Amino acid sequence: MRAVVQTVGRASVTVDGEVVGAITDGLLVLLGVTHTDTPELAATMARKVHELRILDDERSAADTGAPILLVSQFTLYGDTRKGPGGQPPADRWSSRRRSPAPAWRAVPARVGRRCRAR
């Protein structure tokens, strides 16, 4: 699991011209989840993001009640290595891989109502 966390004055997510999530004065989290991530790892990541002291006066979202906008960002696991024939490594596209969805869904559940997952 990988996260890029940014403090923001405002942030929003727009899908097909419709705003599906928006916050002011909080944290924007771009979260990459992969097939090896577990709900337990998600709980740890959620706690770390919620308690990360990067807001004014070294305070956290947990301290201030600041909102968190959580955005799925699978490109954080991008792999530009070339395998045989110029293709990415075959294990990256295996149909036998476990879905990362359970770990993804666990993060906003662990952070609580202050987190808007999109």
6, 36, 73, 87: the catalytic one is 73
Calpha distance 111→84 (Å, rounded)? 42
Please, which residues have CB within 8 angstroms of residue 53's CB and are 6 or more apart in sequence? 59, 60, 63
User: Residue for token digits 């699978």?
Assistant: 74
34, 38, 64, 74: the catalytic one is 74
Per the annotation, the verdict on 6 as an active-site residue is: no
Question: Cα torsion at 77, 83, 89, 90 (round to 10°)?
Answer: 150
Per the annotation, the verdict on 36 as an active-site residue is: no
7, 64, 75, 87: the catalytic one is 75
By DSSP bridging, strand 2-15 and strand 18-32 are antiparallel
Per the annotation, the verdict on 75 as an active-site residue is: yes
Catalytic residues: 73-75
